[in-house]
Amino acid sequence: MTDATFAATPPGATSRRLREFARNFGPVVTVIAALIGLWYLACIPMNAQNSLLLAEREGIAVSPATAAERRDVGGIALAFATPDQALARAFDQDRPRLPTPHQVVTELWDTIVGQKITSKRSLVWHAGITLAPTLLGFLIGSIAGIALAVGIVHSRVMDLSVMPWAIASQTIPILAIAPMIIVVLNSIGIQGVLPKAIISAYLSFFPVTVGMVKGLRAASPSDLDLMRTWNASGLRTLLSLRLPMSLPYLFASLKIAVAAALVGAIVGELPTGAVSGLGARLLAGSYYGQTVQIWSALFGAAIVAALLVAVIAAVERFTLRRMGLA
Amino acid sequence: MTTISAQSLDLTFPSPDGPVHALSDISLDINEGEFVSFIGPSGCGKTTFLRCVAALETPTGGTLTVNGMAPDDARKARAYGYVFQAAGLYPWRTIGRNVTLPLEIMGYSKADRTKRMEDVLELVELGNFTNKYPWQLSGGMQQRASIARALAFDAPILLMDEPFGALDEIVRDRLNEELLSLWKRTNKTTLFVTHSIPEAVYLSTKIVVMSPRPGRITDIIDSPLPKDRPLDIRDTPEFLAVAHRVREGLRTGMEAA
């Protein structure tokens, strides 16, 4: 570098900006790079069976020599036994046991950007199918959760009786109860979005209840005493004091609840024959051994969850800042 | 005319270590328009007594009347405004809307609410801060807003529980002066809990000295100071004499405990 280049930019400005960038994003990038590296590394033993089979079919000598001999040998051992073939063929198989990151990204790109949104092959279309029961269930669950919390905070009987049941409800595996909900509702003629939404609501009410019980009790004793000196009714205290004070807790719970609602909607798609939706993509992928499709559906679900949480976080930031609670 | 009357008032709280005698044999009459300070160490029951007057606690023995009524009826009749040590303003409401909150709850009309809010904020010299949010105000200004809120519905009694306890001494002096002039103008019967001897002597027409375990009254002093009190009255022999008597009362209370 010459003296002239130094003169063109204020001394240290570029390097400071670089340092700042590195400080902000360095840790994130490092972790992601490490994870992707591990992922690629894991592909070698995970896909070794298939790699060696493909090599054997092309007449390349591998060890052990036959599929029958290799069947009970672990992937790591196989990869070490014939490292060149295991390495060369691990990353671009048609039906890998573990698809590589670039295969998943390619599939995501093809099914998100490469298809018309109305196409049944579009992941966006499937995500939309899953989104409807997610949002409806999230709405039902949140309202139910808030209502339960209001009851628990105001009634000693509910305080003592509801919480154990709410906790018990969450210990039942959702996979066990989802088909029952679908079947029972179907038998009384309710089909479509609502049964799935109810499964979503079943998962999402709980964090809202727990968070809001805490939030509705967040007002300080002197704030509550003050309301009492004004002879304010319970309803008035709820609306003017307890609910506004509970908002930080509400938003924290809603973020958990919306992710849980998405899980509920995906699980709710499984027992219905899996025609459409992210859950259907997962199930169909596993029927036909399409691991790339499974993984891209998983990432699709993760992206949807991240977007939903981000929307709530944005509303949270705006609301709490406006209310002076941030 | 007697506004608040306590006759051999008792209050015991149950606790894991046995009952706590928060108030023991408290007898006290407070007349209309008096400024009464309650002073004593922590645990002497001064705040508890204020809370009994406000019907936030229920005495276990003796009688207590507020405005000739049982405390809880007085509360429902909105006989008093209460000021806590924490200003307790809602961060999502402007100062003006914080002051109108009790008025909304009590069902005042919108026009009346606005007028009263403007009047009391003018009274505590916060007239220009109606549309500001609490975080935009200093601690002393927040406490003034909270006093305005307690005055807004024009209750005849003002109960103040260490309202300036969290403020520094310079701000505290100013607020003491302002509170005194406020009291002279509104003539409200004021009950004021404090830890500070100069504050108690400076403000009060009557000082109730209390001591702990059990919470009881050790001395009641009727102040000889005139109603007009500039800040430098605190250097006069009369003031120092009263302060001395308060200190003596506190000491004997501690020795007896």
Q: Which residues of A touch B78 (CB under 8 A)?
A: 230-231
Q: Please state, in angstroms and rounded to a whole number, the distance separating the CA atoms of residues A283 and A274.
A: 7
If you average pLDDT over residues A243-250, what whole number do you get?
95
Taking CA atoms, what residue in B is nearest to A239?
B105
Same domain as B239, residue B170: yes
- Are A265 and A200 in contact by the 8 Å Cβ rule? The answer is yes
Q: Which residues of A touch B105 (CB under 8 A)?
A: 227, 230-232, 236, 240
The total of structural domains in chain B comes to 2
The structure tokens listed for B160 are 């103040």
Place A104 in a pLDDT band, splitting at 50, 70 and 90. very high
- A281 vs A259: which has the higher pLDDT: A259
Q: How many CA atoms lie within 13 A of B16 on its CB side?
A: 0
Best of A227, A230, A242, A320 to substitute, by most chain B Cβ atoms within 10 angstroms, is: A230
Choose one of B154, B174, B198: the last residue of a domain: B154
Place A274 in a pLDDT band, splitting at 50, 70 and 90. low
Beta bridge partners of B31: B2
All residues at 6 or more sequence positions from A210 whose CB lies less than 8 Å from its CB, including other chains? A166, A253
Domains and CATH numbers, chain A: 13-97 (no CATH), 123-322 (1.10.3720.10)
Residue B209 lies in a domain: yes
Taking CA atoms, what residue in A is nearest to B85?
A222
Same domain as B147, residue B29: no
If you average pLDDT over residues A149-166, what whole number do you get?
91
Residue B238 lies in a domain: yes
Same domain as B115, residue B172: no
Is the pLDDT at A8 greater than 60, yes or no?
no
Predicted confidence (pLDDT) per residue in B231-251, tens digit: 888 889 988 999 999 998 888
Mark yes or no for CB contact B88/A322 under 8 Å: no
The reported pLDDT for the residue numbered B227 is 81
Is the pLDDT at A1 greater than 50, yes or no?
no
The reported pLDDT for the residue numbered B215 is 87
Cα–Cα nearest to A52, from A42, A40, A38, A66: A66
Best of B51, B76, B93, B101 to substitute, by most chain A Cβ atoms within 10 angstroms, is: B101
Same domain as B104, residue B11: no
Q: β-pairing, B2-13 with B157-161?
A: unpaired
Residue B86 lies in a domain: no
Cα–Cα nearest to B64, from B53, B74, B80, B56: B53
The complex's ipTM? Answer: 0.88
Is the pLDDT at A137 greater than 80, yes or no?
yes
If you average pLDDT over residues B71-81, what whole number do you get?
90
Same domain as B165, residue B148: no
The reported pLDDT for the residue numbered A140 is 97
Q: How far is B64 from chain A (nearest CA, A)?
A: 17
Same domain as B166, residue B147: no
Residue B88 lies in a domain: no
Mark yes or no for CB contact B75/A220 under 8 Å: no
Is the pLDDT at A2 greater than 60, yes or no?
no
Cα–Cα nearest to B90, from A200, A145, A220, A151: A220
Taking CA atoms, what residue in B is nearest to A244?
B92
Choose one of B154, B188, B206: the last residue of a domain: B154
Beta bridge partners of B161: B193
Q: Please state, in angstroms and rounded to a whole number, the distance separating the CA atoms of residues B82 and B90.
A: 16
Q: Which of A232, A244, A323 sits opposite B105 (nearest CB)?
A: A232
Q: How far is B229 from chain A (nearest CA, A)?
A: 31
Q: What angle do CA B1, B7, B10 make, to 5 degrees?
A: 140
Distance of CA A180 to the CA centre of its chain: 24
* Lowest-confidence region among A274-288, A311-325, B124-138, B144-158: A274-288
Q: Which residues of B touch A244 (CB under 8 A)?
A: 90, 92
- Are B164 and B143 in contact by the 8 Å Cβ rule? The answer is yes
Same domain as B49, residue B162: yes
Same domain as B165, residue B73: yes
Same domain as B148, residue B57: no
Q: Which of B78, B81, B88 sits opposite A223 (nearest CB)?
A: B88
If you average pLDDT over residues B134-156, what whole number do you get?
91
Mark yes or no for CB contact B88/A222 under 8 Å: yes
Place B252 in a pLDDT band, splitting at 50, 70 and 90. confident
Q: Please state, in angstroms and rounded to a whole number, the distance separating the CA atoms of residues A229 and A216.
A: 19
Q: Please state, in angstroms and rounded to a whole number, the distance separating the CA atoms of residues B116 and A216.
A: 31
Q: Please state, in angstroms and rounded to a whole number, the distance separating the CA atoms of residues B38 and A259.
A: 55
Q: Please state, in angstroms and rounded to a whole number, the distance separating the CA atoms of residues A198 and A193.
A: 9
Q: Which of A231, A236, A323 sits opposite B92 (nearest CB)?
A: A323
Q: Which of B76, B88, B133 sits opposite A226 (nearest CB)?
A: B88
Q: Which residues of B touch A241 (CB under 8 A)?
A: 90
Residue B87 lies in a domain: no
Cα–Cα nearest to B201, from B47, B66, B68, B38: B38
Q: Within 10 Å of residue A27's Cβ, how many Cβ atoms?
A: 10
* Lowest-confidence region among A61-75, A194-208, B45-59, B136-150: A61-75
CATH number at residue B168: 3.40.50.300
**Packing angle, helices A123-154 and A278-287, rounded to 10:** 120
In chain B, positions 126-165, which contact chain A (CB-CB < 8 Å)? 133-135
Taking CA atoms, what residue in A is nearest to B80?
A229
Same domain as B37, residue B108: no
Choose one of B125, B154, B183: the last residue of a domain: B154
Instruction: Give the domain range for residue B117.
Output: 93-154
Predicted confidence (pLDDT) per residue in A61-96, tens digit: 888 878 888 888 888 888 888 888 888 888 888 889
Residue B109 lies in a domain: yes
Best of A224, A225, A226, A243 to substitute, by most chain B Cβ atoms within 10 angstroms, is: A226
If you average pLDDT over residues A235-260, what whole number do you get?
95
- A206 vs B167: which has the higher pLDDT: A206
Q: Between chain A and chain B, how many beta carbons pairs sit less than 8 Å apart? A: 52
* Lowest-confidence region among A33-37, A115-119, B215-219: A115-119
In chain B, positions 54-83, which contact chain A (CB-CB < 8 Å)? 54, 56, 75-76, 78, 80-82
Predicted confidence (pLDDT) per residue in A195-237, tens digit: 899 999 999 999 999 999 999 999 999 999 999 999 999 999 9
Same domain as B126, residue B72: no
Same domain as B164, residue B211: yes
Residue B200 lies in a domain: yes
Q: Please state, in angstroms and rounded to a whole number, the distance separating the CA atoms of residues B90 and B133.
A: 9
Taking CA atoms, what residue in A is nearest to B158?
A229
